[in-house]
Structure 1
Amino acid sequence: MPTYVQHAVLGRIPDVFNAEAIWQTPGLALFSRRPLLRDLLERSPREHKGRAATRCFSHVTLTLPQEDVDDDYHLTRGARARDLAQTLAVLHQKDFGDLLGGDEVRYDVVGDTMLAPGEIEVKFGHAVYLPAPDEKVLYNVSVSRDSAIWHTVCAIYPNQRLALIGGEGGVPAQGWPFGADAGLLILNDGPDAVPVVQMRPKGAFDCRFDPRSGYYTIKAPDGQRLLLKVARAAGMPARASQQSEPAAPAVWQKRADTSANLGMGAVAVDGAYRNAGMRAAAGVSAGPDARRGDGSIDLTAVPAAPGHKPANRPGESDATYAPVSQQRVSLVALALPRLSRYRDTGAQAMELPFNRDLALSTDAQPAISLMVDAADQLYACTAEGRQRIEAPATFSPVDARTLRLLPAAPEMADRYRAIICLAQAISNGVASGARFTFGRNSAMLATLRVLDSPRFLKHADGADSTSADRIGLSRNAFSFEAVAKGYTIGRLSATQALYHLDDKLKFVASVGEAPYLLPHGHHLVAGHYVLRFEA
């Protein structure tokens, strides 16, 4: 693949701040046994015609031993480093002025503890860019291994064409799993263009963009994966194309084998797939089963419809099927409370661990844990560490399953911090013609009260004898009965808060003392539980 970053280590330089010793003036090259900066720039032009250089690179990064940089900062406030950059820029302009093509010469001096005394690392090339003093960041690039803990990698500026992450000479990324032979390339065609993400070498990786999550998933043949987020910087105006229609993702693949043949995860799309990409970028799934009537996405976990049966064969009738109860109550989400309301319980945090199947876990090392603390701050915790989060957010610590974190509706915000949509619903059948109760003392739907355990609450004194259900759920919270048009809900405790959410988890109303009719497919929030009552 092309060399996007030229880099070399210059050794045996007594004074690393001596610009002339680093540059090597013309006429001394014949007497030098090692190339210095001027030779490197001359041997690796930006553009050439035949053997003649037509343009040279103008942005150079110098890395000095960290101890020398620190001493300079302590003694002269970094004056020697600034003088070094300015002197080298003058020498560069003087010797290569006719090959700059109007480009501004820029130098940057940084430190690195890995360099020995007298060594200087030099970097320049197509993927080396130094911003102007007043140039604002266009994109912020970050990576993650689990979609919960994100590590900042670099910034991309409006006039920056390429950025190389990983690979030989690229920007290092924390947790880079693909080795030194692999590189991730981001192409920027300007503020109004969608950045293009490609992996090198060609054909060795599967690179896909998830428009709902807003990040790229990059997978290697050995199963290693990396998540990449290219986020537009705050304060930068939106792309002009976004004012009329959403932009299609830069990487859109028909099949995984297509990416293996064409490489780099970038696939040419026809009109049908381009339209699908635009729908996906707008947050609308291309699959018909994932869409509601208004085009929005159902974010709740949906179990198989209990009333579904295959079509009758010739000669058969419905009489061959035994009638069964079709009413079901499903736990589809968990509501994280505002622990600041329950300071008298001594609870310092509520932590919900999920295993690799994204079900609530009792394992010592879950795939991901979502936590709310006594100050009502939200955190995601994985093996990579802990990071503060905000709703809405999406987490995919493993492939094929996703946890979605939704903000609590304003009408519920005094009690709840966020709602976690489960990857898979938990359902219980409900017999018709009878009234049941739900609460801490009720055995009915006890399998849905998955937080009825002290292990989810953390106390300052280390005590863990209090069930999490004691926060927000009464002994007898409400009663329910299946009727023709839905379920009749009756609040049984005056202190129990009940909220009605529609089929899209949008707030409808608070349930009071009077009997309340909850339509089929709608949700009721009681304590930590978001229950869907189905026909």
Structure 2
Amino acid sequence: MPIYVQHEVLGRIPDVFNAEAIWQAPGLALFSRRPLLRDLLERSPREHRGRAATRCFSHVTLVLPQEDVDDDYHLTRGARARDLAQTLATLHQKDFGDLLGGDQVRYDVVGAESLAPGEIEVRFGHAVYLPAPGEKVLYNVSVSRDSAIWHPVCPIYPHQRLALIGGQAGQGAADWPFGPDGAILVINDGPDSVPVVDMRPRGDFDCRYDPRSGYYTIKSLREIDGGGPRLLLKIARNGELAAARPAMPAVMPSSMPASNAEPVPLPVPMSIQMPAPVPASVPMSMHTQLHSPMPAPASTLAHAAPARTARPAVWQSRADGLPLDPTAIPVSHRPTAPATLPGESDATYAPLAQQRVQLVALALPRLSRYRDTGAEALELPFDRSLMLNTGAHSDTAISFVIDAADHLYAATKEGRQRITAPATFAPVDARTMRLLPAAPAMADRYHALLCLAQPVGAAVASGARFTFGRSAAMLAALRVLDSPRFIRRADGAPGAASADRIGLSRNAFSFEATDHGYRIGRLSASQALYHLDERMAFVAMIDAAGPESLYLLPHGHHLVAGHYVLRFDA
């Protein structure tokens, strides 16, 4: 295996800013003197034919003791370091000018706490590159152990061929798990090509790229107690040079859209009149309004959404102060008992059809709209199975926090870091969580949608109308945030009221399963309801209120109410 980075420590140098003392020792005692920078460059050429060198390295990094670098900056504003780099570049050009092949000689001087006084570390090689003045960064490389907290490693420039990370001589990475023998080699073929990631030694690691997450997952194949360590590597293209972004190294199946794909809006539903079955006690002249997905004219869309107040009405207390009445739950329609005992008839009994409602994501609110609640933060912890952590002392793998300034953070044992949507998190193997941006029509209330790794579902019977809300017992198991422990006040103490009081009414909406979908009724004028399609792309806001104004939600589509994104399956 070639040596990508040559690094040596030169000792016993009285003046670390003396270029001649670093370049070459005086005299002609070639066999008795210790090797210095010129000797190292001569012994390790970039290219050679036989024993004759044909090209030498032209980019060299000098690492001086940090105290000397700090003193130079304090006293001369770094003048001695600049003079050192310029003098060494001149000596380099003078002695190896015929081996440069047109390359520009570049030197850089940095400091390190690990060096003792009088020591200098020199670094050069295939994976050592110093940018030209004004050269912009092409890629930024970062690593993570849990996909939430990312640590920057190094930049990659357009004309840089190789970058070595980890190992004994590569760029240092925070919490490096593979020891001094493992290293990551990033190969850059230019702005129009995708970087190639190669592990060294190759047979000791498994490296895979996840196009949905946008990073590489590197696992050690060595036999280690507790399993091989894992490292996540992200190579992000610089935004200023992202116009000609190449294709990703892995292609996603067409049946699985990317998490950052632009959602395609569907036609906005409009109200139509359709007759519905009317009870005997109701006059036959009454009708029920059903909403069916049909395109609406521009004039209708312009006045579809009325202005909403900034203060949510769901946080206001009741004027009468009386306790809430429980919501009546309709009895499921069941087939009547047979007139004969089993075995006395050959009638065939069919099972009762059961539809399901699943909680697939949590809608993260903008707490700045709820300042009167005293809530300073909403914290959502998840355990190692990526289920919402409801215990006070359970093992937490990752937490998502949104503060009163609407800033979103991911927190793990590695620390806390601000995040933006879209993003993907994999704090444990085999399971991921996606963070999707809220649609513009929902952005006044919601910051993002956090997709659960494992949905929570409940069965519902067809032919009966149910109610969902804070005071409704139906689907109470799906209201996973119905607890004050997720709210944090300014003093750091848990909130006094349930987190469901932010954005969810006591009786938010009613629903009834039918053969063509679910008929949704908005029960509270202050309750915001949003219709998302099967890909969680925004469709419409449900404005009509009242038990007689029903909205037809197709099977497999989603409804957003409060913190909850519910999928209504057939």
Return the TM-score normalized by structure 1: 0.85
Cα deviation digits, residues 295-338 of structure 1 (max 9, x gap): 9999xxxxxxxxxxxxxxxxxxxx98851323111111110001
5 Å matches for 1:381-420?
A: 381-420=411-450
Is 2:360 aligned against 1:325? no
Match of 1:527 in 2: 562
- Within 2, Cα distance between the matches of 1:137 and 1:26? 40
Contact 2:177 2:229 in 1 (8 A): yes
Residue aligned with 1:89, SS: helix
Contact 1:456 1:468 in 2 (8 A): yes
Shift of 1:29: 4.7
2:46 maps to a residue whose letter is R
Residue aligned with 2:380, SS: strand
Match of 2:453 in 1: 423
- Within 1, Cα distance between the matches of 2:14 and 2:434? 57
Match of 1:197 in 2: 197
Contact 1:472 1:528 in 2 (8 A): yes
2:471 to 428, 441, 465: 441
Contact 2:143 2:233 in 1 (8 A): yes
- Within 2, Cα distance between the matches of 1:377 and 1:130? 36
Contact 2:437 2:447 in 1 (8 A): yes
Match of 1:261 in 2: none
Shift of 1:492: 1.5
Shift of 1:32: 4.3
1:374 maps to a residue whose letter is A
Residue aligned with 2:231, SS: strand
5 Å matches for 1:103-502?
A: 103-221=103-221, 222=224, 223-239=228-244, 242=246, 247-249=247-249, 277=250, 279-280=251-252, 285=253, 290=256, 322-361=350-389, 362=391, 363-461=393-491, 462-502=493-533
1:502 maps to a residue whose letter is D
5 Å matches for 1:74-93?
A: 74-93=74-93
1:350 maps to a residue whose letter is L
The structure-2 alpha-carbon separation of the partners of 1:492 and 1:28, relative to structure 1 and needing over 3 Å to count, comes to: same
- Within 2, Cα distance between the matches of 1:321 and 1:139? 65
Shift of 1:458: 0.7
- Within 1, Cα distance between the matches of 2:471 and 2:139? 53
Cα deviation digits, residues 354-381 of structure 1 (max 9, x gap): 1121110134441111111100011111
5 Å matches for 1:31-42?
A: 32-42=32-42
- Within 2, Cα distance between the matches of 1:14 and 1:109? 17
2:82 maps to a residue whose letter is R
Cα deviation digits, residues 75-132 of structure 1 (max 9, x gap): 1111100000000001111111111111111100001111111000010000001110
Contact 2:88 2:107 in 1 (8 A): yes
Deviates more, 1:19-28 or 1:468-477: 19-28
Residue aligned with 1:403, SS: strand
Residue aligned with 1:525, SS: strand
The structure-2 alpha-carbon separation of the partners of 1:395 and 1:110, relative to structure 1 and needing over 3 Å to count, comes to: same
- When the two chains are superposed, the root-mean-square deviation of aligned CA atoms in Å is 2.0
1:404 maps to a residue whose letter is R
Match of 2:269 in 1: none
Shift of 1:396: 0.8
Shift of 1:25: 5.3
Shift of 1:507: 1.3
2:534 to 503, 512, 516: 503
- Within 2, Cα distance between the matches of 1:133 and 1:324? 74
- Within 1, Cα distance between the matches of 2:233 and 2:353? 47
Percent identity for Structure 1 against Structure 2 = 75
Shift of 1:34: 1.4
The structure-2 alpha-carbon separation of the partners of 1:296 and 1:109, relative to structure 1 and needing over 3 Å to count, comes to: closer
- Within 2, Cα distance between the matches of 1:391 and 1:364? 27
Residue aligned with 1:515, SS: strand
Match of 2:99 in 1: 99
- Within 1, Cα distance between the matches of 2:263 and 2:440? 21
- Within 1, Cα distance between the matches of 2:516 and 2:81? 77
Contact 2:487 2:494 in 1 (8 A): no
Shift of 1:496: 1.1
1:330 maps to a residue whose letter is Q
Residue aligned with 2:531, SS: strand
The structure-2 alpha-carbon separation of the partners of 1:59 and 1:321, relative to structure 1 and needing over 3 Å to count, comes to: farther
Contact 1:143 1:173 in 2 (8 A): yes
Contact 2:485 2:494 in 1 (8 A): no
The structure-2 alpha-carbon separation of the partners of 1:72 and 1:291, relative to structure 1 and needing over 3 Å to count, comes to: closer
- Within 2, Cα distance between the matches of 1:297 and 1:359? 27
- Within 2, Cα distance between the matches of 1:291 and 1:464? 38
Residue aligned with 1:487, SS: strand
The structure-2 alpha-carbon separation of the partners of 1:36 and 1:351, relative to structure 1 and needing over 3 Å to count, comes to: same
Match of 2:291 in 1: none
Q: Which has the higher contact order (CA 8 A, sep 6+)?
A: 2
2:94 maps to a residue whose letter is K
- Within 2, Cα distance between the matches of 1:380 and 1:372? 9
The structure-2 alpha-carbon separation of the partners of 1:490 and 1:390, relative to structure 1 and needing over 3 Å to count, comes to: same
Contact 1:8 1:123 in 2 (8 A): yes
Shift of 1:229: 0.7
- Within 1, Cα distance between the matches of 2:242 and 2:560? 39
- Within 2, Cα distance between the matches of 1:176 and 1:119? 26
Match of 2:551 in 1: 516
Structure with the greater alpha carbon radius of gyration: 2
Cα deviation digits, residues 163-219 of structure 1 (max 9, x gap): 000012100000110001111000111111111100001211000011111111100
Return the TM-score normalized by structure 2: 0.80
- Unpaired runs of 5+ residues, structure 1, are 250-276, 299-318
Contact 1:193 1:239 in 2 (8 A): no
